[in-house]
Amino acid sequence: MAENKKMTNLIAVRLDDDRLKKLKAWRKQQDDPPNNAEAIRQLFDLGLEAWEKAQKGRKS
């Protein structure tokens, strides 16, 4: 899923303890655990893919 794109935009994200614990748990389940920033990018992409599929389903 990760592509070699130049990262030029910085977005700071604050997470509460519960979300941080969930992020760490998700990272540990990955074959090659990403750092926090890459994990957030991957989860963001997964969320957008799911949203795009849902939008296509609505238009049918």
Within a 10 A sphere around the Cβ of 6, how many other Cβ atoms? 5
| Residue 3: per-residue pLDDT | 65
Q: What is the block-wise mean pLDDT of the chain (60 residues), using blocks of 10 residues?
A: 77 97 98 97 97 88
**What are the extents of the domains in the chain?**
17-59
Integer angstrom CA distances of residue 18 from 26, 49, 51: 12, 24, 23
